[in-house]
Structure 1
């Protein structure tokens, strides 16, 4: 669309996201910029305008998914039963090829766009393959439909034992190892790097209360992220991990399900520099809506 062409959206109820109720108004867009919102409507159109009649519809800003996993196999309308931790993780035994995985991510991106999400901030890739980098660049180039996105690395858990095709092998930990990982992911092209500062009950009983990084490692992560020009994301369930994230300069903090008063105060103090995505829907679904997927009441309690 030419930069000077107007799109005139008429007869809709405009919801501006401020919390005020939707009101009748027209929206005028020029190029990629919202030029004006005309309360009450009645905009006079001009020759060459693209007119969109939204009678009976709501016009609103594009939604932003702050906790996106476009490389996960399941999405709205596409439930993959082989990716249902802790009950079934057989997906990892029949992994798609990189090209197939990119197609899964492209499908999920289109689903998000069709449901009104015009931006997504990744909460982590499923594998070390830079599928999200490829997807982000294809969307930006107009080669595939999808929301604007920030690509995130896979989730580093800081486990001193790493599983590989030949069995378990030692893995380096400590501040230098964390720095090296972040620098490597930045060089690959990710916008943000994801660390599992805490574990999770879905991996083993009581996992959410296990903190996986030391204060020195979290501080090194923040320093290296700033040096490499990337942001930091983290999975943080317990109070200690949340505090590490805030003090380490992490940009996006996920879950925080068991935050104590001190952690909540820290989050409040840092509210202008961090994004918090609690993802409470996951816990609600596991407790109340998971029975058809094998998560009955007893299993939900076992999962914490």
Structure 2
């Protein structure tokens, strides 16, 4: 009964925190529309980022009061708040967003998540994400492009326009390379070489690097694990049952392995896929060690 009471209380508090900060960011977005210069718009984005920092801080406080969590974190030493990063991570649960924001909010620029174009039209949330300069992506399927060849290349152009504003202040762009949350059922549906991961999708990260690869100082490779709460980490956290959160961080260079023409150079495309496959193999081995411990 106590666990379900905590679940209700935590959901209520997190929703209130999200609603208040979204409303404030929404008001910043309204003001931002009428600001006359890019410099003033950047200032408005900075104000919105501070509200997102407050949202992450309050969420961490709420969940820390109801969970006795042991944080096992390695690799934060060389991170800087005045740098540009591409952050890639495995994706296990909605908990990941809370964990990433909590761990990195005081060490790197506030994370910007790539969002689907449809989310722009969600009341308050869409405008709040727009005020935070989160990029909205419109991806066209292969079948759609066959029917409408004139749209080929427009999704990359849209991504580039979305990322142009990041040149004005240090930014962290987050990409969940698997494209969806990991479940054992998803892993078993198709043959994959990984035990704790889904197959990485190279297209999304390739779009990000093609749009602003020259701006990134480093790639942050994050491995997340909830060894004692693998089945339902988000619900367990809300119910006060989360016991251990493991975060492993390593910095990867932005070099010839990731900078090239992924969409027209077949040789580079194979090289890039091999590079990402190696990163994912290392991550799977790390998760195996964490879960066995």
Smaller-chain TM-score bracket: 0.3 to 0.5
Structure with the higher fraction of residues in strand conformation: 1
Higher relative contact order (CA 8 A, sep 6+): 2
Greater Cα radius of gyration, structure 1 or 2:
1
TM-score by length of 1: 0.32
